[in-house]
Structures are given as structure tokens and as C-alpha cells.
């Protein structure tokens, strides 16, 4: 059974139960959810556009040419920058990392890239600022960049 189908089924059943339990409360909740979605839709569309462009430009072969084993600390910095700017869902990041290593990328460089891809979100920064505030968004992204570099250095020392 597909997990998405299961989750949507659970949501549907719970929504029906909620509707029959308290119609007005369920209608208000649905209206609030729709309003939040419609306010975030422009940012979501921009993110989806950026993801599409990133995937078409940043192929695994292109990336691994800049972050090969011989690239050293500069490769870690390049990986962190690319990972911070690009936006990929986490279920794509791990197969991408394997592909990069198979194409000659170094483990520390791929570690930095994967950590930044998952943790840093400069592409989604405007939406994050809108939701959580400027200071929090900058602090979270800055600390995620530092942790990505630290993670790469740990991998470098161990491997």
C-alpha cells in the first residue's frame, strides 16, 4: 500500500468524523487552512520554479566536477554554497549523494552538500521570514550552514 494513499485516507476519515462531530468548527478550520495556503501559494510557486531550474542546471556530473576528491576544503565550501542555494526534497538528496560519490565526488564534499541541501533553505528564505521573522530565519540558516561545514569536517577526519 502506498504511504501517501494511506495518509490521505486517514486525513479524509478524520475530516469526515470532525465534520459530523462539529460542522461549524470544521468549516472554520478548513477556511483558515485555505487562507493560509492561498497566502503561501506565491512563495510555494517560486520555490517550485527554483527547484525545477536547479534540477535542470545542476546535474550530478556538473556538481561532481567541482567537488571531486581533489577539491579539498574549497570543494567543501562550494558544496555548502550549492547546497544552501539549491532546494531538493530529502528523499532526493540521499540518492543524489550516492550518484555523486559514484561519479567521483569526495565524501566530505558530498556530506556538506547533503547537509546543506536538507538543512539550509536560502531559496525558501522569504517564506521563512514571513512565517517566523527575519532574525529567526537568518539565525537558523546561518547555524545550519555552520553545522554543514562542521559535519563535512568530521566526515573528512573519520574517512
CA dihedral 68, 69, 74, 77 (to 10 degrees): 70
Q: Is residue 139 part of a domain?
A: yes
For all residues of the chain together, what is the average pLDDT?
Answer: 88
Q: In the structure grid, which three cell numbers stand for residue 99, read together?
A: 550518484
Q: Does residue 88 share a domain with residue 148? A: yes
Q: Does residue 123 share a domain with residue 69? A: yes
For residue 148, pLDDT over 80 is answered with yes
Cα 41–chain centre separation: 17
Q: Does residue 138 share a domain with residue 66? A: yes
Least confident of 58-62, 76-80, 115-119: 58-62
Q: Is residue 22 part of a domain?
A: yes
Contact 112, 151 (CB under 8 A): yes
Q: Does residue 102 share a domain with residue 37? A: no
- Would you state the pLDDT for residue 15? 94
Q: Does residue 82 share a domain with residue 31? A: no
pLDDT in tens, 31-71: 999 999 898 888 778 777 776 776 677 677 777 778 888 88
Q: Is residue 106 part of a domain?
A: yes
User: Does the reported pTM lie above 0.85?
Assistant: no
Q: Does residue 117 share a domain with residue 67? A: yes
DSSP H helical ranges for 22-71 = 23-57, 60-66
pLDDT band at 1 (very low <50, low <70, confident <90, very high): low
Contact 134, 101 (CB under 8 A): no
Q: Is residue 49 part of a domain?
A: no
For residue 74, pLDDT over 80 is answered with yes
Range of the domain at 65: 58-158
The number of folded domains in the chain is: 2
For residue 77, give the nearest of 156, 158, 159, 138 by alpha carbon: 156
Q: Does residue 65 share a domain with residue 33? A: no
Q: What is the mean pLDDT of residues 116-127?
A: 90
For helices 107-119 and 90-102, give the axis angle rounded to 10 degrees: 170
pLDDT in tens, 127-144: 899 999 999 999 999 999
Q: Is residue 37 part of a domain?
A: yes
Amino acid at each position: 500500500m502506498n504511504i501517501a494513499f494511506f495518509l490521505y485516507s486517514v486525513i479524509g476519515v478524520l475530516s469526515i468524523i470532525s465534520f459530523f462531530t462539529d460542522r461549524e468548527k470544521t468549516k472554520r478550520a478548513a477556511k483558515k487552512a485555505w487562507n493560509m495556503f492561498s497566502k503561501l501559494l506565491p512563495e510555494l510557486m517560486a520555490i517550485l520554479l527554483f527547484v525545477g531550474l536547479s534540477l535542470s542546471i545542476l546535474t550530478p556530473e556538473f556538481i561532481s566536477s567541482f567537488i571531486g576528491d581533489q577539491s579539498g576544503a574549497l570543494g567543501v565550501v562550494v558544496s555548502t554554497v550549492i547546497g544552501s542555494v539549491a532546494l531538493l526534497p530529502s528523499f532526493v538528496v540521499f540518492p543524489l549523494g550516492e550518484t555523486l560519490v559514484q561519479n567521483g565526488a569526495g565524501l566530505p564534499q558530498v556530506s556538506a552538500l547533503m547537509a546543506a541541501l536538507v538543512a539550509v533553505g536560502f531559496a525558501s528564505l522569504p517564506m521563512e521570514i514571513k512565517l517566523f521573522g527575519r532574525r529567526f530565519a537568518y539565525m537558523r540558516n546561518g547555524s545550519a550552514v555552520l553545522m554543514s561545514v562542521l559535519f563535512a569536517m568530521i566526515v573528512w577526519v573519520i574517512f
